Structures are given as C-alpha cells and as structure tokens.
A and B are shown apart, each in its own frame.
Chain A
Amino acid sequence: MRNFEDDPTLSDLLTPDQIRRLDGALSGLCREPVAISENRTEDAVPVEFNLETVGWLSGGASAGERKAAAELVSFLMLFVAKYRLAANIHHDTTEASYAELQRQNEALKASEAKYRELSDQLQQKVDEQVAVIRQTQQELYESARLRSVGHLAAGVAHEINNPVGFISSNLRVARDYVKNLEPLLPETTENRELLEDFNDLLSESIEGTDRIADIVADLKTFSSIDQADNALCDLNSLLRSAIHLIQTEYNHSLSIAESLAELPRIPGHPSRLSQTLFNLLDNAAQAVGDNGRILVRTLTDNTGIQVIIQDNGCGIPDKVRSQVFDAFFTTRPVGSGTGLGLTVARDSVRAHGGQLTLDSQEGAGTRVVLSLPVQQGS
C-alpha cells in the first residue's frame, strides 16, 4: 500500500475525464491546442508539483504559451493534491483507529472472559467454603450431642456402678448365708423347697446385677469416659459394646452374628469410632426390621483393619445411593432419624484416615465396609 505522503502521480490527482476537460479549457486559452500527459513527448514542458514532475504538457503555439499553461496546471495541482493528501491521511488514520479499536475490543473481550472465569472460580471457592462451614457446623452439633449423651451416660454409669456393686456382692454373701443356714434348718420338704426357691431368687438377682454391670461397662466404653480423646482403640471391644447397646435399644430382638478377628489396636478417637459403629449398626437394624440378619465381621492385614457390617434388609434404592452420604438425607420416614448417621460415620472414618464404602441392592441388603489404616498418617 502507498503511504499518504508518497508523491502523487498525474493519475492519482486527476481522472482521464478531468485531464481531457483541462486540456480543452487550456486549449481554449492558447492559440494552438495543448495536451497534458504522463509521457514525455518532444517539445513538452514538465508540469511540476512539489519538486516532482507529475506530467508533461505539449502543444501550444510557443514555448511561452506552454510554460504559462504548465504553470497554471501546477497551480491547480496544489489544491488537488492538498485534497488528495488530506483524503489519504484521513483514510489512513481512520483505518489505523479502526484497527486500534478492534484490538482494544479484543483485549476487552479477553479481559472480560478472564474476569468471568475469575468470578466463576470465586463462586466455586465460596461454595466450597460454605460446604466446609456447613460441615463443620454439623460436626460441632454432632459432637456436642455426642458429648452430652456421653456425659449423661457417664454420670448414670457412675451412679449405678456403686449400688450395683454392693447389691451384687451382698447377694453373693446372702447366697453363702443361705448355704450356711441349710444344715441348721429342720429337714422338711417345705423347708427344702423354700431354700431352693430362695437360692434361685438370689441366683437370678445375681445374674440380673451382672447384666446391669455389663450394660454399665458398655456405656462406659461407648461414651469413653475413661479414655482420652486420642487413644489406642481396640475396635473389637468398641464393636461389642455398640452391639450390646443396639441390642438393648431393640429389646434383644436382633439377630446379630459376630465374626471378629484378632485386631491390632489403632490410634483414634474412641467415642467417635463408637458412635460410627453404633450408627452403622442402627442403619442395619432399621433396614432388616423384625426378621432379618446382621453379620458383623472384622478382618485385618498388614496395612489396615476392615469392619464389615452386612444386612439382608431392604437395601437402598439406586437413585438414592449417591445421596446417602449427604447430610440431612434419609431414606427412612421423617422422624425416624436425622439422616446424619452415614454422613457423620463417613466423616469420622475420614478423620481417621480411613474409608467407608457402601454396597447395596434394593431388596437384597446392604454391605458397609469401613477400612481404617493401622498406621495413621497424622
């Protein structure tokens, strides 16, 4: 492309029509016709414009006539060229400005896209933070509930422990006394039956107090009142306590089979693990209803422990399964639970560096596998 400042040629300045018209007008002024051309002919004089020869003027009656005509054309050329220059630079700058505008527009679009992306990222971050806050709130609520239940259990256990202790030992002493009384009483049928009855009464009562003592022990294990927040946990004993408690809650109506392997102790939060196991058992218990079976197994290899709780209950519908870990979600009728069981269980397991997996078939049952590492990362 030519620059606006390039020296113009004759055809840049005038169209052939205009040249013809100019020739005509000039010829009218001269005694002989004259003609302007880009090519030099004999006797032609240069038509100069801005130190540049833009054309040649030939014809005319004399050299003087040619010179005057050429001078007139040069003079006209100044104004034509002025216009041409102005038009050219206007065109150039308009194009440059437009290009610049387009470039700015592109840059603007790019930065707009960048900001949109940034705002999306920000929204995502906010969502993540909201989830974290919601989760923390949930955990706080859960742990507060757990703590208060734990405190209550601990208090009750403590209060019951002493009286149960002395009732139990008194009953045993009483049984001994009954034995001592036996030879001293006259040997009658009535007396013998009385003593046998008395003995049975005492034995049943001793059995009863033993059961009370067991429940108290389970409660203590469950609420972990004797243990620090972070301790070496015996998962089997936590599991047994949880099974006892769930049986108590379901009036010993559940059929729970245990198959517990010997496990290494793992570091962890006993009360959280207890709560987790209880929740999983509770889910299973609700799923099986009155006449299902629950199988509880523990396994270990070098790297970790697995607790498997399997039931042959109602199972979880496909469309619900992906949601079962969502807080507040429950497949059970409103009122029968908060739906937090699985979420809390999963979160506790994660806090222990482990994993909770769920394998369920509607109508066939559910298998929950809780894996915990033996050696925890942190």
Chain B
Amino acid sequence: MPDFSPEDNKLALKVVFYGPALSGKTTNLMQLHSLLNPERKGELMVLETRDDRTLFFDMLPIGLRSGSGLDLRLKLYTVPGQVQHDSTRKAVLSRADGVVFVADSQVAQQDNNAIAFGNLEDNLDKVGLDIDTLPMVVQFNKRDLPSVVEEAELQSRWAGTPWAPLAMASALQGKGVIETFRALLDRLYTVINAEFDLAGKHDIDRATFIGRLSASHGVGDA
C-alpha cells in the first residue's frame, strides 16, 4: 500500500520481484541497477548468503521529484525463493504496491513456477492483498537457454488471465528487463494515479511516470 507522508510531500511505493528460487530475480534487480538511469537512484543492497543465494532480500531504491515538489520513491525488492524462507517472503510482500513474478522458462522448471505462483497467491491473501487487482507483470526469464517452453505456447496458456501478455526476458543478457519493469510501471500508474491524482495534482502523467523512473543509459531510450 502506498505510503504517503503529507508533511514531507513524500510518496513511497513498493515493488516486489517474486518467483521460484534461482529464476533470476536478483539478476533482474542487478540489471535494473546498472541499466537504469532514473532521476534518482540509491545503492543496490544485496543481502545474500555466502553461496550467492538471497538470504533476506535485495533492495534498490529509485525516485523522482515532480514539478509540484512531490518526492516519489520506488523501492524495488526481491524475495528469497527457497521454500524455507516463506516468512521472509511474507514480510517483504506485505504492503506491496506491485509485483513482478519472475518465472523460469526452462521446461523442467514449470512445476516450480506453479508452486511459487501458488505460494504468491497464498501469501498475498495472508497479507491482505488481492491478486486480481494488484498491479502485476509475469516475466518468463532465461529465454537464452535451449530447453525453454515456446513463447507462443506460454502466451496462449496465459491469454485468459489478467497478466497477458507475458514479458519475455533474458536477465543475464539484460534483455527484456527494462521492458518488464516498464510494463509494471504502466499498470502501477493506473492504480496510483486513481488514488493520488498524479496527473492532476503533481503534473506526473503516465509517460512521465514511466519515462522518468525507467530512463536508461541506452541511446534514445528515455
């Protein structure tokens, strides 16, 4: 849920990268950290174990300041995917304003995707969020690998859901990461604008919101 403090004119939003273990959530965040060049960008905090598995979460804060002086913050979190860290996942997921579900495209990983998605549904329910109205993008990562489920098959399978079309990515190669993030910003804007009238009160329209939060180093990509 958005955290607005009128005295500071500060609006803090939270986006959580969710998914099975090793699907590439941390890689997504690291790529965003290096590819994005938003107006304001903090340090990428990685809290991992010795063998590179996410222990608590990773966090990257970005932000922008509007013409009206609104201090808009977006904190991007990843959750630990391993089964035993469910209470941490729940804690990180609570009060989320948007979710990026990072699935692993490999054929052998489809069961894990399903289990993690079921776990997301459960935990959203437990922290009092509604999966049907929460802004969410589903990304199928690791498209660079050989044994992946065909995109056409995936798209048709998810066609009937609120999360179509799916985002395809190869986080390791930095492909599709920003596109996924922009799709999420797009859905997030609809909800946040409805509540805070970003366009009317703060002069932040949809294009500004997406463009300024996801400006990249790439040429002509802002």
Hey, which bits of chain A sit against chain B, CB under 8 A?
Answer: 3-5, 49-51, 78, 81-82, 85-86, 89-90, 92-93, 96-97, 100
Q: Is the interface of A mostly helix, strand, loop or mixed?
A: helix
Whether A96 lies near B90 (C-beta < 8 A) is yes
Known: A89-B57, A93-B87. 17 other contacts (CB 8 A): A50-B42, A50-B45, A51-B40, A51-B61, A78-B43, A78-B45, A81-B45, A82-B45, A85-B56, A85-B59, A86-B56, A89-B88, A89-B91, A89-B92, A92-B91, A93-B88, A96-B90
Instruction: List the B side residues contacting A82 at CB < 8 Å.
Output: 45, 47
Is B95 part of the contact surface with A, judged by Cβ < 8 Å?
yes
Mark out the residues of chain B between 39 and 84 whose CB falls within 8 Å of any chain A CB in the assembled complex: 40, 42-43, 45, 47, 55-57, 59, 61-63, 73, 75, 77
Closest to A92 in B: B91
Instruction: List the B side residues contacting A3 at CB < 8 Å.
Output: 95
Beyond A51-B42, A51-B73, A81-B45, is A5–B87 a contact (Cβ under 8 Å)?
no
Instruction: List the A side residues contacting B90 at CB < 8 Å.
Output: 93, 96
Is B212 part of the contact surface with A, judged by Cβ < 8 Å?
no
Is B142 part of the contact surface with A, judged by Cβ < 8 Å?
no
Whether A90 lies near B40 (C-beta < 8 A) is no
Tell which of B40, B55, B63, B75 touches A5, judged by Cβ atoms closer than 8 Å: B75
Hey, which bits of chain B sit against chain A, CB under 8 A?
Answer: 14, 40, 42-43, 45, 47, 55-57, 59, 61-63, 73, 75, 77, 87-88, 90-92, 95
- Cα of A270 to Cα of B47 in the assembled complex, Å: 93
Tell which of A50, A86, A90, A92 touches B61, judged by Cβ atoms closer than 8 Å: A50
Instruction: List the A side residues contacting B77 at CB < 8 Å.
Output: 5
Closest to A83 in B: B47
- Cα of A96 to Cα of B90 in the assembled complex, Å: 10
A351 to chain B minimum Cβ distance, whole angstroms, is 60
- Cα of A3 to Cα of B90 in the assembled complex, Å: 13
Instruction: List the B side residues contacting A86 at CB < 8 Å.
Output: 47, 55-56
Whether A50 lies near B88 (C-beta < 8 A) is no
Closest to B94 in A: A3
22 contacts between A and B (CB under 8 A): A3-B95, A4-B91, A50-B42, A50-B43, A50-B45, A51-B40, A51-B42, A51-B61, A51-B62, A51-B63, A78-B45, A82-B47, A85-B47, A85-B59, A86-B47, A89-B57, A89-B92, A90-B56, A92-B91, A93-B90, A96-B87, A96-B91
Instruction: List the A side residues contacting B87 at CB < 8 Å.
Output: 93, 96-97, 100
Whether A93 lies near B91 (C-beta < 8 A) is yes
A3 to chain B minimum Cβ distance, whole angstroms, is 7
Most buried by A among B43, B57, B77, B90: B43
A111 to chain B minimum Cβ distance, whole angstroms, is 21
- Cα of A61 to Cα of B14 in the assembled complex, Å: 41
Instruction: List the B side residues contacting A96 at CB < 8 Å.
Output: 87, 90-91
- Cα of A89 to Cα of B89 in the assembled complex, Å: 10
Instruction: List the B side residues contacting A51 at CB < 8 Å.
Output: 40, 42, 61-63, 73
B79 to chain A minimum Cβ distance, whole angstroms, is 11
Whether A5 lies near B14 (C-beta < 8 A) is yes
A327 to chain B minimum Cβ distance, whole angstroms, is 60
- Cα of A86 to Cα of B80 in the assembled complex, Å: 13
Most buried by B among A49, A50, A78, A92: A50
B55 to chain A minimum Cβ distance, whole angstroms, is 8
- Cα of A347 to Cα of B89 in the assembled complex, Å: 69
Whether A89 lies near B42 (C-beta < 8 A) is no
- Cα of A188 to Cα of B149 in the assembled complex, Å: 143
- Cα of A236 to Cα of B167 in the assembled complex, Å: 99
- Cα of A263 to Cα of B57 in the assembled complex, Å: 95
B195 to chain A minimum Cβ distance, whole angstroms, is 20
Instruction: List the B side residues contacting A93 at CB < 8 Å.
Output: 87-88, 90-91
A321 to chain B minimum Cβ distance, whole angstroms, is 64
Instruction: List the A side residues contacting B42 at CB < 8 Å.
Output: 49-51
Closest to B14 in A: A5
- Cα of A6 to Cα of B167 in the assembled complex, Å: 31
Instruction: List the B side residues contacting A92 at CB < 8 Å.
Output: 91
- Cα of A248 to Cα of B171 in the assembled complex, Å: 111
- Cα of A90 to Cα of B88 in the assembled complex, Å: 8
- Cα of A49 to Cα of B42 in the assembled complex, Å: 7
Closest 7 CB pairs of A and B: A50-B42, A93-B87, A50-B61, A51-B42, A97-B87, A51-B63, A93-B91
A87 to chain B minimum Cβ distance, whole angstroms, is 10
Instruction: List the A side residues contacting B57 at CB < 8 Å.
Output: 89
Instruction: List the A side residues contacting B75 at CB < 8 Å.
Output: 5
Closest to B90 in A: A96
Instruction: List the A side residues contacting B40 at CB < 8 Å.
Output: 51
Instruction: List the A side residues contacting B61 at CB < 8 Å.
Output: 50-51
Closest to B89 in A: A93
Whether B91 lies near A85 (C-beta < 8 A) is no
Instruction: List the A side residues contacting B56 at CB < 8 Å.
Output: 85-86, 89-90
Closest to A75 in B: B43
- Cα of A93 to Cα of B92 in the assembled complex, Å: 10
- Cα of A90 to Cα of B43 in the assembled complex, Å: 21
Instruction: List the B side residues contacting A97 at CB < 8 Å.
Output: 87
- Cα of A97 to Cα of B87 in the assembled complex, Å: 7
- Cα of A51 to Cα of B91 in the assembled complex, Å: 23
Most buried by A among B14, B55, B61, B87: B87
Whether B88 lies near A85 (C-beta < 8 A) is no
- Cα of A68 to Cα of B43 in the assembled complex, Å: 17
Instruction: List the B side residues contacting A100 at CB < 8 Å.
Output: 87
